[in-house]
């Protein structure tokens, strides 16, 4: 079965960077995008960006453009999201999701990674 397993909780200071991983299994990794979505406490979902493991093409939301980098490692079928220059607005649960390029929907999700930003 399709599974996306994310790395654990992170606690970071303002100005630091965080890198979250997303290990995929149960499907052909290169056939689907990996998207990242975050949810601040008590708030809605916010799309951050997505990457194609097939050709490396990536696109980012304007709000985090310049601070975020998405990568994939096809040898380990793992996606990564790195966010730099963290501030309090970045505190959220970060989800990875499998993206179907044909329908622009997210059909399988990771369990979420809590990122806390605190001095």
Partner 1 sequence: QSALTQPPSASGSPGQSVTISCTGTSSDVGGYNYVSWYQQHPGKAPKLMIYEVNKRPSGVPDRFSGSKSGNTASLTVSGLQTEDEADYYCSSYTGSSNIFGTGTKVTV
Q: Which is nearer to partner 1, 23 or 112 (CB)?
A: 112
Give the C-alpha separation, 82 to 92, whole Å: 14
Measuring CA to CA, how many Å separate 107 from each of 52, 61, 73, 100?
Answer: 15, 20, 21, 7
Report if residue 91 touches partner 1, rule: CB under 8 A: no
35: left (phi over 0), alpha (psi -120 to 50) or beta: beta
The pattern of x and - marking residues 39 through 78 that bind partner 1 according to CB under 8 A reads: -----xxxx-xx--------x-x-----------------
Residue among 37, 51, 115, 117 that touches partner 1 (CB under 8 A): 37
Report if residue 27 touches partner 1, rule: CB under 8 A: no
DSSP count for the chain of H helices, then E strands: 0, 11
Q: Which residues bind partner 1 (CB under 8 A)?
A: 35, 37, 44-47, 49-50, 59, 61, 95, 97, 100, 103-107, 109-112
């Amino acid at each position: 079965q399709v599974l996306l397993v994310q790395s654990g909780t992170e606690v970071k200071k303002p100005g630091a960077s965080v890198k979250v991983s997303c290990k995929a299994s149960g499907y052909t990794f290169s056939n689907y995008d990996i998207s990242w979505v975050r949810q601040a406490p008590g708030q809605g979902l916010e799309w951050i960006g997505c990457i194609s493991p097939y050709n490396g093409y990536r696109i980012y939301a304007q709000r985090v453009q310049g601070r975020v980098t998405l990568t994939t490692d096809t040898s380990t079928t793992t996606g990564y999201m790195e966010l730099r220059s963290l501030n309090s607005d970045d505190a959220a649960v970060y989800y990875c999701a499998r993206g179907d390029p044909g329908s622009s929907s997210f059909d399988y999700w990771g369990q979420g990674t809590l990122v806390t930003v605190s001095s």
